[in-house]
Amino acid sequence: MSTSDHRTAKPWAPHREDGLSLGALILAVAVAGAVGSVLRLSIGAPFEEHYMKFPWATLMINLGGSAALGLLTAVAHRWRGLPSWGVPVLGTGLLGSFTTFSAVMLAAVASQQSSLFGAVAGDEVIPAGLWEMLAYLGMGMLFCTAAAAAGITVGRALFGNGDEP
């Protein structure tokens, strides 16, 4: 873009190399985010985690989404033909809404006794449910990181490292 073209471009509509404006990219990420949220709800709703002691469905959804994000990262690194909107739309939008830390927090708290926060303020120093919630959060972070690394490894095995021309 020349200097004069740059000054006349609309701030919300810079053209990218694939022809998408920033506004179109934001809309695509938002739509993909809505799809990821509905997909997460559709998969997780039948399990009624609020009545479970341990939120297994949320953990499995996050493991699968983390592995998919790792695979997307490896594919994006190797496949030069991937449009520039691919990672923001599929990674941030779709998989970002599919694997959310807020859902992990909600599942962890909801799986514990309903008066967990009241118990914290009571006579008990550390309520029993708090240990389970902390163990779940630690496992989620550890296993989801491992799932993302596995996705990257599989992607590199299938598509190469990206070092070759």
Q: What is the DSSP string of 9-59?
A: S-TT----TTS--HHHHHHHHHHHHHHHHHHHHHHHGGG-GGG-SS-HHHH
Would you state the pLDDT for residue 112?
55
Would you state the pLDDT for residue 132?
74
Query: Rounded CA gap, 81 and 91, in Å?
Result: 16
165 residues of the chain, pLDDT tens digit each: 444 444 444 444 444 455 678 899 999 999 999 999 999 989 988 887 666 667 788 888 989 999 999 999 999 888 878 888 999 999 999 999 998 766 666 666 555 555 555 555 555 555 666 777 788 788 888 999 999 999 999 999 988 775 555
Query: Rounded CA gap, 45 and 80, in Å?
Result: 38
